[in-house]
Chains A and B, each alone.
Chain A
């Protein structure tokens, strides 16, 4: 009876579901996987979007259904909730490390982004050469969750996963 499967087993399966836009991050790393629970024979997976208009959500939902179906879980419902609203503080430490290795500067804390909003330097570290001598080029980058930076030492542009 699948209804008796351990929740940890489900988490292991979902540990392979990644964000299609940042494929080094699993949905667990991102902090968008909120809850896994059984309601009778039905497995309920609750997720939350990063941004309201995140185009990856529909795909992530599909991948969750797919990953669970591959392991024999057919009676699944993926629910999306808005509250509590996702924040970058939910990114795991592991996720932050993977982001930097992938070439995206991980988010600082909310107070740092307030500094950026006020036009001050928040010392975003270049993911390539680790210099903090960097400059914001645009508050909006290649996807809704990123800002565009450039490193003044190694001269490379890079994405910064901005705080929300």
Chain B
């Protein structure tokens, strides 16, 4: 794998995480439990979509094949997507969405923070631009973890159930493969072992405050980073890509 290929893959992974997370959050539009939270999720969705656009635009530039960020978003199939399995998991109930957000946002914060030191200035710039937005997401998620984890018996049970269900997707956040190693060696990418340490401390502190139990690390599902996805991604793409595929000339 050349360095350029690795860089393209790396950018796809970051961009696809934002894109799919953003799409999932946008599915809440008009369905939030109360108006303020509906609005909050849509604001967060918009941040993710904006960040995805920045990452995927840079990916296209690196690839140099005259594809655009829209081509990447709307004209790739499941096997070409590089997002983590965690972000494609269904919204489920309010608790499922919050727990998924909490696990991802906490990771995304420390990941983006490390990326602000990238030797690639374009990457560092996008990471810096994204980081403050992500800190709002992280704070929002943690706040809800505590509120509902340490809430009623029912809310506590639902949060613990969601945590138990989603935990097997948390391992992939920290797996390092060839792409990660090439990027780390050139001080372009991030050492996920260091991110793991910060994530662990932060997640443990919030879970304790939320009176929730950290599930044991058992079998971890992975594959999203290399294009092996759960069945859910296909349904997301079917909805997300329908319009530009059915009406290729459609313009806003």
Q: Which of A3-11, A63-71, A132-140 contacts B (4 or more CB under 8 A)?
A: A132-140
Q: Which residues between 14 and 57 of chain B lie within 8 Å of chain A, taking CB atoms? A: 36-37, 39-40, 43-44, 46-51, 53-54
B39 near A53 with CB under 8 A, answer no
Q: Which of B123-131, B154-162, B187-195 contacts A (4 or more CB under 8 A)?
A: B123-131
A148 near B36 with CB under 8 A, answer yes
B139 near A53 with CB under 8 A, answer no
List chain A residues, Cβ under 8 A from B133. Answer: 51-52, 144, 164
A139 near B125 with CB under 8 A, answer no
Residue B132 CB within 8 A of the other chain: yes
What residue in chain B is nearest A55 (Cβ atoms)?
B46
List chain B residues, Cβ under 8 A from A54. Answer: 50
List chain A residues, Cβ under 8 A from B125. Answer: 82-83, 85
Residue A142 CB within 8 A of the other chain: yes
Number of B residues with CB within 8 Å of any CB on chain A: 27
- Selected from A85, A117, A139, A143, the residue in CB contact (under 8 A) with B128 is A85
CA distance A49 to B129 in the complex (A): 9
Q: Which residues between 75 and 102 of chain A lie within 8 Å of chain B, taking CB atoms? A: 82-83, 85
Residue B235 CB within 8 A of the other chain: no
- Nearest Cβ distance between residue B98 and chain A, in whole angstroms? 14
Residue B174 CB within 8 A of the other chain: no
CA distance A96 to B124 in the complex (A): 30
B49 near A53 with CB under 8 A, answer yes
B50 near A51 with CB under 8 A, answer yes
A140 near B40 with CB under 8 A, answer yes
Interface bits B226-239 vs A (CB < 8 Å: 1, else 0): 00000000000000
The DSSP consensus for interface residues of chain B is helix
Q: Which residues between 137 and 156 of chain A lie within 8 Å of chain B, taking CB atoms? A: 137-144, 148
CA distance A129 to B87 in the complex (A): 44
Residue B140 CB within 8 A of the other chain: yes
Residue B242 CB within 8 A of the other chain: no
Number of A residues with CB within 8 Å of any CB on chain B: 20
- Nearest Cβ distance between residue B144 and chain A, in whole angstroms? 11
- Selected from B36, B126, B130, B136, the residue in CB contact (under 8 A) with A137 is B36
B132 near A142 with CB under 8 A, answer no
Q: A53-B51, A117-B139 are in contact. Are A140 and B129 (CB under 8 A)?
A: no
- Selected from A51, A82, A141, A164, the residue in CB contact (under 8 A) with B126 is A82
Q: A52-B54, A117-B139 are in contact. Are A144 and B47 (CB under 8 A)?
A: yes
CA distance A83 to B130 in the complex (A): 11
CA distance A148 to B36 in the complex (A): 8
What residue in chain A is nearest B43 (Cβ atoms)?
A140
What residue in chain B is nearest A162 (Cβ atoms)?
B136
B128 near A83 with CB under 8 A, answer yes
- Selected from A53, A83, A164, the residue in CB contact (under 8 A) with B46 is A53
List chain B residues, Cβ under 8 A from A51. Answer: 46-47, 50, 133
- Selected from A117, A138, A164, the residue in CB contact (under 8 A) with B39 is A138
List chain B residues, Cβ under 8 A from A49. Answer: 50, 129
- 4 smallest CB-CB distances across A and B, nearest first, come from A53-B50, A52-B50, A140-B40, A53-B46
Additional pairs, 11, CB under 8 Å, beyond known A52-B51, A52-B130, A117-B135: A49-B129, A51-B133, A53-B47, A55-B46, A83-B124, A137-B36, A138-B36, A139-B136, A140-B36, A140-B39, A144-B47
Q: Which residue numbers of A lie inside 8 Å of B, CB to CB? A: 49, 51-55, 82-83, 85, 117, 137-144, 148, 164
28 A–B contacts, CB within 8 A, in A order: A49-B50, A51-B46, A52-B47, A52-B53, A52-B129, A52-B133, A53-B49, A55-B46, A82-B54, A82-B125, A83-B124, A83-B129, A85-B125, A117-B139, A137-B36, A139-B136, A139-B140, A140-B36, A140-B39, A140-B43, A140-B136, A142-B39, A143-B43, A144-B43, A144-B46, A144-B133, A148-B39, A164-B132
